[in-house]
Structure 1
Amino acid sequence: MKKKLYTALALAGLLVMNSCTDLNEIVLDETFGSNLSDKEATEGIIAPVYARLPDIFLHTNYFALQEISTDEAILPYRGGTDWGDNGIYLAMHAHTHGATDPNIRNTWNLILQGMSRAITAINTLPTMKDASAKTFLAEARGMRAYYSMLTLDLFGLVFVKNDVGETSKIIRGEEAFEYIKSELLAVEPNLETTVGPGRLSKGAAWGLLARLYLNAGVYRDRYATQFTFKPEDMDKVIEYTDKIISSGQYQLSSDYFSIFNSDNHTNKELIFAVDQRAELNGHNRMAYFSISGDQFPLPAYPAANGTDGPAITSDFYRSWTSAYGTQDPSVDPRFYKQNISVYTNPADSCVAGDKFNMNRGILRGQQYGLIRRNGVFVKCANGDYKVAKLNYDTRNRSDLPVNFSEKIDFTVEGSNYNSGYRVLKYEFSKKSTSGRNFGDADIVILRLADIYLMRAEAKLRKSGDAAGALADVNIVRAARTASTPPPALTSMSLDLLFRERGFEFYWEMVRRPDMVRFGKYESTWTEKTNNDVKKRVFPIPQTAIDGASNIPGYLKQNDGY
């Protein structure tokens, strides 16, 4: 499916959920044009349904809510000059955020815009003559269910609406869970099986159903002292994960980091993803978000550097060192991948441009890379690029090495540019027109490893089947054969499974729901002591509350805000 932006917005009419959500859609094109085929027009209607996903999954927005709110990621006020942003990232990490947080507002608005576009497509596609309309109708309805899953997970509510002119009904708890389930079940028969990860497929619907059932205990009773995981729900998790695994359509990747390469659209481990291919003007910014401003991943782009954003907490790092004891955690190929051994040479080195690739994973200590002077990269006598130890030259701090430390917190020392171990999980684009702001690696929403680990969790929660859970976890670990795979585990428990999910899915925007489900979100970690259970959901943005004030009692703020 091509991402057409001619666009279908003429058919969309007014693309707002209702007057209470303050979502004014920009119409990009007022007409379809008379020369479009039925197929092109039909594709033009479904494209906007997916088009908000890249914005939701931007390096801030949803990432901030799902990662910086956890023990995994922290973003201090760098050097007292960068990432201050009125303290929003400090508050998000410390669980002192409120209803005016812009990342919360942006995520809310973008999700509801996506839902609004899905409703428009649901109402328009039945009038289209092309044979693909039936499949696209199922996708649009399924995407409405997915956007509803996001609002339920993040905000504890779901908007139910079948026509853009209606005022949405707001549901919560069991009713919201049942609604999303029924919608996914209704569309599953009409979804395709081999449309690629950028569209909703049968496999994606099965995976979303498994995720929904796994979190059902949380969604039914958000502030419970202890969540109830019903055996029948866990049976459903096992049923849908079995469907995916037995379908034979997906395959665990032997090279862990290839899952996040710039050409990962065809990686067989991906089930559902944000399509970010360069030809679709993808703008995955995950690659530059964490690394140093003096790390330049692409010889072709001397302005494409990092931004010294979030790092992992020492708490999360210590979960790795605790697991591997006397061994360095880099024995686990998910932790780190060294691409060019020359990076650690004590002397300067020379590397051909097409051979230069940054190390991936969790980056520690002194960093090596391309040296930039006066806006251009320094070259060796043979024309290759000079690679040497990096200092913070771009910050006018040549005295400060790009030497990432374990220590990172909100103190002056812990907020320096070089504090905290960094994450380079997604690869920089090799062919985008920017190199920094445009990345063409699809952002993972669901992949096969998660299917195995969800099944493992369901086995543990249903009947304490540690042996079955252990087998599933070890299947994933053993699959990473491009290098020496991590050693097989010999026992399994919920705590070990939580740790394993951290190792497998760090930086993939699932940490917050994992922490909530495993009862760890109220714990204490670096710069966070707040144990208020009300923080398990985010506040409804104040702009939405204000916009709904003309309907008394319509949009009630979440407890604790």
Structure 2
Amino acid sequence: MKKSYITSLVLTGLISITSCTDLAENVLDEASATGLTDKQAADGNIAPVYARLPDIFLHTNYFALQEISTDEAILPYRGGTDWGDNGIYVAMHQHTHTSTDPNLRNTWNLLTQSISRSISALSTLPTINDQNAKTYIAEARGMRAYYNMLLLDLFGLVFVKENPQAISDIRRGEQAFEYIKSEFLAAEPDLLQTVGPGRLTKAAVWGLLARLHLNAAVYRDRYATQFTFKPEDMDKVIEYTDKIISSGQYQLSRDYFSIFNDNNHDNKELIFAVDQRAELNGHNRMAYFSLSGDQFPLPAFPAANGTDGPAITPDYYQTWVTAYSGDPTVDPRFYKQNMIIPADSCIAASDFSMNRGILRGQQYGLLRPAGAFIRCGNNYRIGRLTNVTRNRPTLPVNFTERVDFTVPGSDYNTGYRVLKYEFSKKSSSGRNLGDADISIVRLADVYLMRAEAKLRKSNDAAGALADVNAVRAARTATTPAPALSTINLDLLYRERGFELYWEMVRRTDMIRFGKYEGTWTEKTNSDPKKRIFPIPQNAIDGASNLPGYLKQNEGY
């Protein structure tokens, strides 16, 4: 008898993880869903495989692990009232996090649940007589490999099993790397090339294989004093990135910030992304997370505002200043001015658009002193913003370079903020309906991975420089960033920081480039054991009936 997931909200209350380590999950039997066609059964089995991706990429899950642990993002205890959260964001940034961190636990649970759903789909789809079943099997297998790849990167292990009722085999190091590689290779032949970016395609697997091989030295020997990048791995990076680039299916976007617009699903730079369209499951909060509580991007919704979350560190900001002799605005990836208005004026709702990128200094926007926007007839008044929502109407929303964990450095105005992903025009609260798809693999990253492989394999500086400058030159909607005249690994690392900031690759990059044990704002911990996170304590406790099965990572 076939088993099938029912794609409805009712399912949410029926699914349960019985253990974080045996990856068991209750699956509805087809008998409870009479009348399903084979197509409905097939669709109902593949949908849950992708369903938790938006939750994994939530701002307090994967983002926190990949960005707040690095020099790109810092989240202080704002004003002594917001984002204290028992110190977990301070600890994450300072590399003093523990195995009870709830963001680590949530990310672990979501990844293991997604592996479980992939295994369940793989056990059922072969029994369904639908023309899409073969493709769905490949997608489920590839997604299982992807979720395991995230587990390997974050926690240093993978779970391997085929039978949903079996106990998973745990692998680390070389064995884990080889398992993920073999699964991607097995899935690739039956994947389509026309269903992205929200579903796994051949090009998506090529991009993930390139990333896997690029980080292979780390995954094989996590605590190495110096990583050994094998030429054969770099050859594979070049091979898979060549496939994507030569396919001609993807294009570097002329407008950098359009890659992150609320209608970016059809942007040709995206190869693989978290599908966040509101008509599906859109709820990414990447837009509101960093903004001030007095920045309101949507005239139609006076409750949609920021939350005074993380800022960039002065250390990261200074990489831009150094690169451009004090004026980073010459790089269109740094900032896009959309509000070209007098300091105090009125504007039609249709003409109002937030500035994008890294926001500095005094901020202007819609004025809402008493819960409603000030109107000028049919238009809206724009002016200098103050912290009205924080009951501090004399404190300007004036973002400063300084941000740290001191009382002055944690105030509401400290730290330059990031508005990279656009607010959804349908978001009534700022916390819902984030339509912008979140990039997992995009073409610029593919060029930069190829450039890095060229440098690491044979010091092909000319080839690497051509790839980096191709990305820079493509942003022609405004004046593109000036071409680089030279390239080396340090400059390439800096370039990845400029192109991919806040896209949840920074921690992985810092480890690979040997930067993660460095010192930056409020962080001095140099313990290489922090290159992976602790396995959540509740997972270890859940496996206590299997002595020795799930061992805590070193250093925790």
Q: Which TM-score applies when normalising by structure 2?
A: 0.96
Give the AA of the match of 1:108: W
Closer, same or farther in 2 for the Cα pair 1:103/1:464, shift >3 Å? same
Give 1:11-410 correspondences, 5 Å limit.
Answer: 16=17, 19-21=19-21, 33-326=33-326, 328-342=327-341, 345-346=342-343, 348-380=344-376, 382-410=377-405
Deviations 1:232-269 (Å, cap 9, x if unpaired)?
A: 00000000000000011110000000000000000000
Closer, same or farther in 2 for the Cα pair 1:194/1:300, shift >3 Å? same
Closer, same or farther in 2 for the Cα pair 1:27/1:391, shift >3 Å? farther
Whole-angstrom distance in 2 between the partners of 1:240 and 1:302: 47
Whole-angstrom distance in 2 between the partners of 1:26 and 1:525: 45
Closer, same or farther in 2 for the Cα pair 1:373/1:180, shift >3 Å? same
Closer, same or farther in 2 for the Cα pair 1:14/1:166, shift >3 Å? farther
Give 1:424-503 correspondences, 5 Å limit.
Answer: 424-432=419-427, 434-503=429-498
Secondary structure of the equivalent of 1:279? coil
CA contact (8 A) 1:9 1:27 kept: no
Give the AA of the match of 1:258: S
Whole-angstrom distance in 2 between the partners of 1:234 and 1:492: 18
Secondary structure of the equivalent of 1:251? coil
Deviations 1:420-474 (Å, cap 9, x if unpaired)?
A: 0000000000134544322111011000000000000000000001110000000
Give 1:503-518 correspondences, 5 Å limit.
Answer: 503-518=498-513
Count how many residue pairs are aligned between Structure 1 and Structure 2: 552
CA contact (8 A) 2:138 2:188 kept: yes
Secondary structure of the equivalent of 1:164? coil
Give the AA of the match of 1:376: A
CA contact (8 A) 1:294 1:390 kept: yes
| Residue range with higher mean Cα deviation, 234-243 or 162-171 | 162-171
Whole-angstrom distance in 2 between the partners of 1:80 and 1:27: 45
Whole-angstrom distance in 2 between the partners of 1:375 and 1:301: 11
1:375 deviation in Å?
1.5
Q: Percent identity?
A: 75
CA contact (8 A) 2:24 2:164 kept: no
Give the AA of the match of 1:262: D
Whole-angstrom distance in 2 between the partners of 1:297 and 1:31: 48
Give the AA of the match of 1:333: P
CA contact (8 A) 1:291 1:424 kept: yes
Deviations 1:363-399 (Å, cap 9, x if unpaired)?
A: 000000001132211111x320000000000011011
Whole-angstrom distance in 2 between the partners of 1:24 and 1:179: 20
CA contact (8 A) 1:8 1:32 kept: no
CA contact (8 A) 1:118 1:141 kept: yes
Deviations 1:38-68 (Å, cap 9, x if unpaired)?
A: 2122111100000010000001111010000
Whole-angstrom distance in 2 between the partners of 1:252 and 1:8: 41
Whole-angstrom distance in 2 between the partners of 1:161 and 1:9: 24
Whole-angstrom distance in 2 between the partners of 1:378 and 1:252: 40
Could you list the structure 1 runs, at least 4 aligned residues long, displaced by more than 3 angstroms after superposition: 6-10, 12-16, 18-36, 432-436
Closer, same or farther in 2 for the Cα pair 1:27/1:414, shift >3 Å? farther
| Residue range with higher mean Cα deviation, 431-440 or 300-309 | 431-440
1:28 deviation in Å?
9.0
| CA RMSD after TM alignment | 1.9
CA contact (8 A) 2:23 2:115 kept: no
1:281 deviation in Å?
2.6
Whole-angstrom distance in 2 between the partners of 1:447 and 1:463: 25
CA contact (8 A) 1:93 1:528 kept: yes
Q: Which TM-score applies when normalising by structure 1?
A: 0.96
Closer, same or farther in 2 for the Cα pair 1:376/1:363, shift >3 Å? same
Q: Which of 389, 409, 417 is residue 414 of structure 1 equivalent to?
A: 409
Closer, same or farther in 2 for the Cα pair 1:14/1:427, shift >3 Å? closer
Whole-angstrom distance in 2 between the partners of 1:378 and 1:20: 51
Contiguous gaps of at least 5 residues in structure 2: none
Secondary structure of the equivalent of 1:375? coil
Q: Which of 547, 552, 556 is residue 557 of structure 1 equivalent to?
A: 552
| Residue range with higher mean Cα deviation, 104-113 or 427-436 | 427-436
CA contact (8 A) 1:9 1:29 kept: no
Contiguous gaps of at least 5 residues in structure 1: none
Closer, same or farther in 2 for the Cα pair 1:419/1:487, shift >3 Å? same
Closer, same or farther in 2 for the Cα pair 1:153/1:489, shift >3 Å? same
1:164 deviation in Å?
1.4
Secondary structure of the equivalent of 1:92? helix
CA contact (8 A) 1:9 1:30 kept: no
Whole-angstrom distance in 1 between the partners of 2:201 and 2:457: 28
Secondary structure of the equivalent of 1:311? coil
Whole-angstrom distance in 2 between the partners of 1:31 and 1:295: 51
Whole-angstrom distance in 1 between the partners of 2:216 and 2:553: 19
Give the AA of the match of 1:449: A
Give the AA of the match of 2:261: N
Whole-angstrom distance in 2 between the partners of 1:31 and 1:85: 45
Give the AA of the match of 2:124: T
Whole-angstrom distance in 1 between the partners of 2:23 and 2:292: 36
CA contact (8 A) 1:66 1:511 kept: yes
Secondary structure of the equivalent of 2:346? strand
Whole-angstrom distance in 2 between the partners of 1:524 and 1:282: 36
Give the AA of the match of 2:138: A
Secondary structure of the equivalent of 2:511? helix
Secondary structure of the equivalent of 2:125? helix
Give the AA of the match of 2:331: D
Give the AA of the match of 1:378: I
